[in-house]
Amino acid sequence: MRALILLLVGLFTGILLTATALNLMALGQGGPRPHVALMGMLQYHLGEARGLIEPGCEAGQGERHFLLMRSLSDDLERVYVERGYDEALFSRHAKQFRARLDDTLALPEDTSCRIRADAMSRVQDGCQSCHRDFGRG
């Protein structure tokens, strides 16, 4: 009986230690991934702006999403250059992206949907040109 209890305690302890070790290893591999989060948020807000502007828009629609993308774009170099992206090329793309967002945000509130859609397309083209240069799409 004593041997059986010791065997069960040993198995239980082994299972707990194994589960703990596996969880710790998984935590070490997961780490923060700001590059994925940043691109995910930019993609989300561009899609939301597109959904407001393409079907026909009212004055100022999409501006909130462009403001948020502009704010997020300030972190592009910090996040991606740390990951090994070419600093000069990536900075050029990031500056161009911010300039296109600034141009879009500078549009008067009563700008037509067509002009807003064109501005949004230029922002999206900025995304695509960077992705082409860095092999991401």
Is residue 91 located within the same domain as residue 112?
Answer: yes
Output DSSP code: residue 64: H
Is residue 78 located within the same domain as residue 118?
Answer: yes
pLDDT for 122: 93
Is residue 23 located within the same domain as residue 48?
Answer: no
- The neighbour count for residue 117, using CB atoms within 10 Å, is 16
Q: Which residue has the tokens 């501006």?
A: 63
Is residue 73 located within the same domain as residue 47?
Answer: yes
Range of the domain at 5: 1-31
Is residue 56 located within the same domain as residue 94?
Answer: yes
Is residue 23 located within the same domain as residue 73?
Answer: no
Give the C-alpha separation, 83 to 41, whole Å.
Answer: 18
Is residue 89 located within the same domain as residue 60?
Answer: yes
Total domain count, the chain: 2
Q: What average pLDDT does range 3-16 have in this prediction?
A: 85
pLDDT for 100: 94
Q: What does pTM read for this prediction?
A: 0.70
What are the helix (H) ranges across 1-137? Answer: 2-30, 34-53, 63-73, 76-81, 87-105, 113-133
